[in-house]
């Protein structure tokens, strides 16, 4: 349960907030006070946590991932391939997922994210081979064990190779099964309100793995259930060609025809949009998850974030799957996004603060949670505290810049909803060595078939 006695996160080395030089006061899962330079809390009976050695950020928010892919990192058969042949190499391996291996994959991904300063994460799980019908249930249980805030998407694929799609028959489901389970998991797990720890969204995988009928039906179901929508879009030129051949239009046109171009939707990647399409996205309030590491590894291209933001599109960050990154570290993703976009746009248009903003306020817009991603009164008490006591930071001047430029990768403390989820760089009660051993064994078994 959240604490009732207020806690003052006192005198941080630096903090990503205005007017909070002496820290913030937390009570019942919320930020109740910012303490300015020279000030003291007006809140009575405060305890305190000494943050003099910490840089304090809003909890980072991961807007795109595939947790199960931690089991197929750096898979030899998939190395040095672009997206479509990469997927074709991996689908047969993913078809061997079991409930036990899936739980391990989920736990590894969320643990790695938490330790990197991530307090809220999405996951796009769309692979449901026989025996994995309860995949989302397994995922919810793992998230609750770890204490991380989640927006889990009930993904789907129903367009297999025999129908002209990319995935094999063994990993797809029929439309009725998908829609029925989508409604089930929303009814069972989706929480509403600013304190929500578990939410559900609906997420057909991509234009090349689902039918038009399913896209339409999912949009209608999301509207009826009042949940968000997510899918991959405009990730590669191959996807553009597929849509033009299959649907006689570009991906965004197809999305709009299916009833998806609205504020309920956030999209993964968004690399290959033209200027007119960016304006349409901005007008519709559809948001984009920028996945810098994955886009570089698969050589898919570079998301035009500055033009997107100028068109009114909110940009968040996503680590993407751990087989296309090949990690689940959101703080490293911040640095990767900063470097990629700095190289594209120059020093005058992209700073380290832009990259931090994408991972916080921008990502909060993607997940539809305005109470997250910012250190301000009334916002959720989701915080990531980093120390600068490693060799990599020695000699730094600006602590916030040092996090990004010097390559921070592990948080010392992480608070989710007023509760410490990471303490002294570790997740309480998690036996990491045992988890790694069992996860590695599951990965070897999948590779062996």
Domains of the chain and CATH, by start: 7-58+379-422 (2.30.40.10), 60-366 (3.20.20.140)
**Cα 366 from Cα 61, distance rounded (Å):** 9
In this predicted structure, what is the pLDDT of residue 3?
A: 59
The model carries a pTM of 0.97
Say which residues have a Cβ less than 8 Å from residue 431's Cβ, sequence separation at least 6. Answer: none
| The predicted structure's pLDDT at residue 45 | 93
> What residues of the chain score a pLDDT lower than 70?
1-3
Spatial distance between the Cα atoms of 47 and 3, rounded to a whole number of angstroms: 11
Of 439, 386, 389, 437, nearest in space to 411 by CA: 386
d(CA 61, CA 317): 7
Which residue reads 């030129």 in tokens? 237
* Integer Cα distance of 323 and 58 in angstroms: 27
Residue 87 CA, chain-centre distance (Å), reads 20
Exposed / middle / buried, residue 368 (Cβ in 10 Å: 0-12, 13-18, 19+): middle
pLDDT for 146 equals: 98
C-alpha span between 199 and 186 (Å, rounded): 8
* Whether the Cβ atoms of residue 303 and residue 269 lie closer than 8 Å to each other: yes
Amino acid 1: pLDDT? 40
What tokens appear for 119 in the block? 């307090």
How far apart CA 73 and CA 80 sit, in angstroms, is 13
425 and 442 in contact (C-beta within 8 Å)?
Answer: no
The C-alpha atoms of residue 408 and residue 126 are separated, in whole angstroms, by: 31
Instruction: List residues bridging with 200 in a β-sheet.
Output: 152
Strand pairing category for 118-125 and 265-269: unpaired
Task: Spell out the residues 6+ positions from residue 102 whose beta carbon is closer than 8 angstroms to its own.
Answer: 68, 132, 135, 138, 139
The answer to whether the peptide bond before residue 326 is cis (omega within 30 degrees of 0) is yes
CA distance 417 to 28: 8
Torsion sign (Cα): 417, 155, 138, 87? negative
pLDDT tens-digit profile of 72-103? Answer: 999 999 999 999 899 999 999 999 999 999 99
Candidates 184, 260, 194, 271; CA nearest to 225 is 184
Q: How many alpha carbons fall within 13 Å on the CB side of residue 61?
A: 29
């Amino acid at each position: 349960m959240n604490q009732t006695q207020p806690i003052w996160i006192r005198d941080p080395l630096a903090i990503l907030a205005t007017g909070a030089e002496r820290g913030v006061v937390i009570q019942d899962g919320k930020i109740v006070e910012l303490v300015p330079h020279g000030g003291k809390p007006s809140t009575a009976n405060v305890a305190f946590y000494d943050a003099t050695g910490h840089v304090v950020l809003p909890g980072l928010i991961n807007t795109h991932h595939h947790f199960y892919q931690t089991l197929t990192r750096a898979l030899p058969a998939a190395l040095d391939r672009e997206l479509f042949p990469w997927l074709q190499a991996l689908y047969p391996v993913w078809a061997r997922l079991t409930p036990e291996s899936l739980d391990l994959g989920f736990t590894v991904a969320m643990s790695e994210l938490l330790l990197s300063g991530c307090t809220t994460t999405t996951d796009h799980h769309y692979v449901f081979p026989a025996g994995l019908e309860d995949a989302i249930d397994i995922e919810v249980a793992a998230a609750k064990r770890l204490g991380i805030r989640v927006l889990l998407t009930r993904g789907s694929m129903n367009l297999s190779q025999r129908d002209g799609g990319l995935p094999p028959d063994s990993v797809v489901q029929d439309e009725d099964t998908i829609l029925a389970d989508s409604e089930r998991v929303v009814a069972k797990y989706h929480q509403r309100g600013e304190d929500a720890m578990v939410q559900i969204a609906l997420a057909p995988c991509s234009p090349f793995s689902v039918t038009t009928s399913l896209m339409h039906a999912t949009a209608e179901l999301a509207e009826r259930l009042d949940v968000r929508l997510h899918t991959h879009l405009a990730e590669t030129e191959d996807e553009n060609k597929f849509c033009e051949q299959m649907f006689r239009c570009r991906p965004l046109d197809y999305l709009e025809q299916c009833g998806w171009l609205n504020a309920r939707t956030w999209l993964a990647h968004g690399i290959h949009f033209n200027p007119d399409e960016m304006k349409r996205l901005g007008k519709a309030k559809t948001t984009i998850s920028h996945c810098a590491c994955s886009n570089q590894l698969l050589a898919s291209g570079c998301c035009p974030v500055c033009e997107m933001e100028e068109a009114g599109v909110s940009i968040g960050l996503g680590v993407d799957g751990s087989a296309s990154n090949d990690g689940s570290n959101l703080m490293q993703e911040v640095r990767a996004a900063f470097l990629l976009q700095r190289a594209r746009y120059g020093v005058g248009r992209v700073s380290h603060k832009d990259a931090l903003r994408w991972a916080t306020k921008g990502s909060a817009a993607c997940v539809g949670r305005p109470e997250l991603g910012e250190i301000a009164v009334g916002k959720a008490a989701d915080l990531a505290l980093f120390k600068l006591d490693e060799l990599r930071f020695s000699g730094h001047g600006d602590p916030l810049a040092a996090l990004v430029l010097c390559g921070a990768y592990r948080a010392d403390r992480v608070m989710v909803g007023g509760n410490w989820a990471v303490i002294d760089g570790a997740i309480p009660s998690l036996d990491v060595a045992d988890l790694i051993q069992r996860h590695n064994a599951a990965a070897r078994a999948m590779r062996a078939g």
